[in-house]
C-alpha cells in the first residue's frame, strides 16, 4: 500500500506524520486490497474561524475510490473523525462483498427441496385423531355438564349422529335444538 502524506499551508511534524501513518495502517484490517492512501492536511480559514481540514483518498483494487473529508479545530480530532468515517465506509464495502454473494438461479433451485419429497415425508407424519368433541353423547350427560358449568349453551352430536345444541333459557329451563 502506497501512503502519501501532504500538508497544504501547514507543516506536518513527525508526531503528526506518525499519527496519520498509524491511522492509515489500521485500514488494512478490512482485507480490501488497498492500493494507495493519500492524506492531505490543509489549513482552512472561513472569516474569523480557522481550522484544519483532513482529506483521505483511498484507492481500492477493482472498486471505486473512497474519499473522506473532515474539518475540525484540532488536527488530531479531525484525523480521528475522518478515520472513523473511512473505517465505516470500508466496513460496509467488506460486508457487502462477503455477506451478499450473488447466486445463480440454478444454485438457488438446488437449495430448495423437491415438493414431492416434502409431501411424501409429511404423509408419514400425519396421524388422524378423533376428537372428543365429535363423539356421540347422551342428552342427559350434556344437560348435567351444562348445569354444572357457567356456559350458556353446548354443541354436541347425539347418539343418532345429529348435531344438537342444548341451551339455557331466560326462564331457567333448558332448550334443545
CATH of the domain at 41: 3.30.160.100
Answer yes or no: are the C-beta atoms of 56 and 71 closer than 8 Å.
no
Residues 86 and 153 placed together within one structural domain of the fold: no
Examine residue 117 and state whether it is found in any structural domain, yes or no: no
100 has a pLDDT exceeding 60? no
Residues 137 and 61 placed together within one structural domain of the fold: no
Instruction: Convert the chain into a string of H (helix), E (strand) and C (coil).
Output: CEEEEEEECCCCCHHHHHHHHHHHHHHHHHCCCEEEEEEEEEEEEECCEEEEEEEEEEEECCCCCEEEEEEECCHHHHHHHHHHHHHHHHHHHHHHHHHCCCCCHHHHHHHCCCHHHHHHHHHHHCCCCCCHHHCECCHHHHHHHHHHCCCCEEEEECCCCCEEEEEECCCCCEEEC
The residue out of 49, 82, 99 marking a domain boundary is 99
Query: What's the whole-model pTM score?
Result: 0.54
Cα separation of the two ends of the chain? 89
Q: Of the ranges 67-81, 100-114, 137-151, which is most confident?
A: 67-81
Q: Give the bridge partners for 6, in sequence order.
A: 40
Examine residue 104 and state whether it is found in any structural domain, yes or no: no
Confidence of residue 163 (pLDDT cuts 50, 70, 90): confident
Phi, psi dihedrals of residue 63, rounded to the nearest 5°: -125, 175
Least confident of 7-11, 51-55, 107-111: 107-111
Residues 141 and 95 placed together within one structural domain of the fold: no
Domain that residue 8 falls in: 2-99
Q: How many domains does the structure of the chain reveal?
A: 2
Q: Calculate the average pLDDT of the chain.
A: 84
Amino acid at each position: 500500500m502506497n501512503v502519501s502524506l501532504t500538508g497544504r499551508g501547514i507543516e506536518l511534524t513527525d508526531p503528526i506524520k506518525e499519527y496519520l501513518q498509524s491511522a492509515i495502517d489500521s485500514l488494512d484490517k478490512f482485507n480490501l486490497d488497498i492500493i494507495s492512501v493519500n492524506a492531505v492536511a490543509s489549513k482552512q480559514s472561513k472569516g474569523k474561524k480557522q481550522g484544519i481540514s483532513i482529506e483521505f483518498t483511498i484507492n481500492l483494487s477493482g472498486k471505486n475510490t473512497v474519499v473522506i473529508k473532515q474539518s475540525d479545530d484540532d488536527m488530531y480530532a479531525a484525523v480521528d473523525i475522518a478515520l472513523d468515517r473511512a473505517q465505516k465506509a470500508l466496513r460496509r464495502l467488506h460486508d457487502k462483498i462477503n455477506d451478499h454473494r450473488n447466486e445463480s438461479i440454478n444454485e438457488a433451485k438446488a437449495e430448495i427441496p423437491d415438493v414431492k419429497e416434502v409431501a411424501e415425508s409429511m404423509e408419514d407424519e400425519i396421524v388422524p385423531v378423533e376428537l372428543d368433541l365429535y363423539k356421540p353423547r347422551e342428552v342427559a350427560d350434556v344437560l348435567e355438564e351444562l348445569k354444572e358449568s357457567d356456559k350458556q349453551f353446548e354443541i354436541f352430536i347425539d347418539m343418532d349422529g345429529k348435531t344438537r345444541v342444548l341451551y339455557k333459557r331466560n326462564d331457567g329451563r333448558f332448550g334443545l335444538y
